[in-house]
Every structure is written in structure tokens, then in C-alpha cells.
Structure 1
Amino acid sequence: GFRSLNVALRQKLDLYANVRPTYYLDGVPSPVKAPQEMDMVTFRENTEDVYAGIEWEAGTEDGEQVRTFLEEEMDAEGIHEGPVGIGIKPITEFGTKRLVREAIDYALENNRDSVTLIHKGNIMKYTEGQFRDWGYEVAQEEYGEAVITEDTLWEERDGEQPEDTLVVNDRIADNMLQQLLTRTAEYDVLAMPNLNGDYLSDAAGAQIGGLGIAPGANFGEGRVLAEPVHGSAPKYAGQDKVNPTAMILSGRLLFEYLGWEDAADLIGEAVEQTIASKYVTYDLHRQIEGGEKVSTSEYAERVAETIEDLA
């Protein structure tokens, strides 16, 4: 069963694509030398993988039944003796293709250069390897000359990307984690299974200054649920101190979804101006020399006032 309200909502509403734009806001302290090179969008499959909620607790009757079935009926090996927790990792053709299709459509509509499929198919060949293969099938069978694979790019064009063409490639997940740091500017739109997406999008958020400024939204057919990347922080409840930027920018994504680009642009500009003025919450203040530390509500009020001034 589900152990998370977020996961339950994504499943019940079929919010299959978790989309996280990750870009640098001027003035935000960052642990990397060139945070401005980060401008990517992650598409994380939201309903499958080990987050599907299909698991059994160690020591339970159901868990032991699954173990017995795996060992006796499926000849599974390598499960050590004693209590064991078991989870299922479903990766379907349907779930994979609709996510990759969403990522490619976004990239083409927004003049992006590439879509990278992230996976551990070198180890998990029948799940994440299938994710990679099905992703390439979408690219090659549904988009014609608008999309070219990286292999074809180098084999036939010596690496020269045709104008108005999207490149689709793939990377192993652990390698991609270090390439986020070492070759940031080379990546644009990323598409990946659920667990990899959780890891990679959080790592990308750290490079632009942390999850306090990282927005996200969950998309389904005709519906969207926006939420900050950082999730909840119950220990700060009622203290009026945490950074609301990620929540505000998640709201901006809702306006973009509705096609209200002017409103979305106003929100983005107001947030950037507020941070640039060093009027920030405690998490940024401790890293900014000469800044003014303010509460959650004071920061939000300044953003709202700036929107009014810009409008």
C-alpha cells in the first residue's frame, strides 16, 4: 500500500509526469563555480518503478508468501535467509512511452536541443533497459525528421546537429550524476524512471542553490498538481521562517500550464528582483553577505509588492 500522500495522489489522479525546471536565479549562493550553466528540465515518470507502492513488509505472512513464490515458482536466487522486505519494480511500455513522448513534445515546443534518457539498463536490463529501448522507439517511430538519435548524429553527420532538429540520447544514471557537475551545459531535457528522477532532480537543485528555490509540477491528462521539489518539513510548521520561493515558482508553473505567460513572467521577475535585493529567508541569508533576513510572510509580501510594481 501507499506510505505517502503525494504518491497516492499521483497514482489516483494518474499524474504520470513529474516535471521540474531547474535554472539559476541571479544572486542565489551556489556550491558550484558556474551555476548559471544549469538550465534543464527533468521529466520523471511518476506512477511506476519502485514507487508504485507494491511492497511487502519483512516478517509478514504476505511477504513470506511472495518470497516462497519467487523462490519455488520462479527459481529466484540470492535472497538471504531471515526476514526480508520485498518490493516490485514495474516499468511498462505504456508508462514509459507516454512520459518520453511528453518530454520530446516539450523539447520541440520550447526549442530545446536534446532529450536524454536516464537509466540503469546496464544492470536492470528488463526494466530500466526496456525504458531506454521504448524511449528510443518513441523518438524514431513517431517524430520523423524532427528527431535524430545521437548515434545517427555521429555516424552520418560527424556530430553536426541539423537546425530545428532534436537529438535524443541516453546516459547511465550514476554517470549522469557526475555529468550534472562536470558537463552541465551539455544537457537540456532529461527523461527517466521514478527513482532515478527523484535522485537526479534533487542533485540538480543543489547546484542552483538548494531545494528551497526548486519548483515542480505533476502532469496528467487534463490535470496538473504543482508542488515544490523539497516536499514537507513538519519541524518548521508554524515558525514563519522557511523559504517559500519553490512554492511560489510552482504556482508560476500553473500559470504557464494555463497559457497565462504574462502572469508567469511577472512572478519569475518579481522573485529574481527580491532575491537580488538580498531580502531573503534564513537559508539564503546565512550565505549572503550584507543580506536582510526576513520571515516567510515578509518575503512573500515583498514578492507580491514587486509584482504590483512590475504590472
Structure 2
Amino acid sequence: MSTLTPRGRTPVLRGPAWVTGRLHRRSLWTALVILVLLTGALLGLWWTAAATHTDFAATGCPLWDNTRECDGPARRYLDAEYRFYWLLKILDLLLPVLPAAVGAFVAGPVVARELEYGTYKLAWTQSVSPARWLLSRLVLPTAWAVTLTAAFTAVFRLAWVYGPHDGYEVRWYDDFYYLGLGPVLVGYVVLGIATGALAALLTRGTAVAMAVTAVTVTAVLLVFSIKLRGLLLPVTRVTGDEQRSENAWVVDWGRTTVPGSPGTHTTYHEYHPSSHFWPLQLIETGLLLALAALAVLAAFRVLRRLHA
């Protein structure tokens, strides 16, 4: 999809990949600008909260102290942490929308619109095969979306790990935070792109393809969040007064019969310890990429069937 200049140094887009980049350059650069603005806001509030925490720590005051000398510094620190916390919360509410939005963009403006208006025929008459045409419509958006998503995820995780959480607790297993703390968001974005291409080829209508893609990707995300994620690894079970590990994700709890004591009941908890975070992320990401690969394979088969 890219070649080298005559000097052999600078890679540049050529052919259908160049056309794709040219047609959608405004949308691609707009995504970059939005990422830079969000990253700047996140880093700014992170820095402010960290600086306020340093000033507060220098006073030697406990956090929850209502004396006149400590109330002011504690309040300023909690206010800074509150603003940082709510920016994380707002971003968390946007993260589940990102894969559906990226997928809808590929499904609509990138693929389905050309099929709907027939402009793809021009590319196919210029020694560009249907398969190469579709590949060019997938490679550039995928590379752009994966790069930006990975960069944002890295910044988000750094802010979450090293940011202050004295007054407002942020748990790794919360559905929205979970998306921004590891590679799983990249998996959903790639699935969105693959689903968008398949939906565009099946429906051949811009609005319909965008709607189908958004609904499908959102449904997959909800199924993993509500049903499947907790089943990807065996849980740890404790009963009675047994202590579960700190910062654990409790997936089930209730009352059960004590073994060997009919009629005697005790409580139980089933949970994922925090050490399960990375295995859960990697397993879910792998499953999403497998689904994306199947969607891409299906898209090329549909294209071959319609345009041999």
C-alpha cells in the first residue's frame, strides 16, 4: 500500500491507498486533533492534581481533618482530584462509543458510499482489482485508528495508575475504565473496522451499513462486559470469614451449605484478583481480533461473490 520515493528513503502512499487518504484526510486529521486536545486536558488536570497533592503532603495534615489549618489545603487537594476524576469518568463514558464510531465511519463514508454511488467502478477500471480496492479502504483507517487508540490508551493508563486516588476510588474492573487500561480497546476498534467493511458490502447503503455496524459492535461489547468477561478465567472462591485479595473483582456472591454440615449455611464470594487483569485483557483482545479476522475474510468472500 506504500512505496518509496526514488531516493528510497521516505515512504509515501500510492495508488488506491493515496486516494483513500486524500478523500478522508479531514476526518483523519480531525481525529488526531481531538486526541491531542483530550490528551492535553488529561495531562493538565493530572499535573494540577499531582502538584496540589505535593503541596498538601507538605502541610503534614491528614486528609479528613476539619481543623481550620488543615481544612483549606485538604479541600483544595480534593477539588483538584475531583476534577481529574471526573475527566477520567467523562472519557470512560466516551470509550465504549469509539469502536462503534470508527466502524461506522469505515462502513459508511469509506466503503458503502462508493458502492452506493458507483464510484468504485472508476478505481476498478484503472488496473485496481476489487480485492486491492477493498484492502486499501481497510489498511489506512486501521493503521490510523490503531495508532491513535494505542497512544491514547497508554496516556490514559499512566494517568490512571499514577494519578491521585485518595478521595475518589477508581477500580480496574469497572466496565468503562477497563476499556482504557489495556489493549482490549484496540481489539474493539479493529473489530469495528472489520464489521464496517462486511456490513457495507452486505447492505451497500451508507446509512444502513453505519447503523448495522454500530449496533453489532455495541452488542459485542455489551455481551463481553455483562456475560463473557468474568468467564474468561477461573474465579477464586472464598467462604465464611476467609479474606479475598485486595482490589478484587467480585463476580458472584451469596449463601451456600457448609460441606459436611447439612442445614448449616455460610456466605461465599467468587472473584478475580487484580493479577487477572492482564490475562483477561489479552484473552478478550485475542478473541476480538479473531472475530475481526473472520469478518474481514467474510467481507472478501462477499466481494468475490458479487464481483468475481
Global fold match (TM > 0.5)? no
TM-score, normalisation: structure 1: 0.25
Q: Which has the higher strand share?
A: 1
**Greater Rg over alpha carbons, structure:** 2
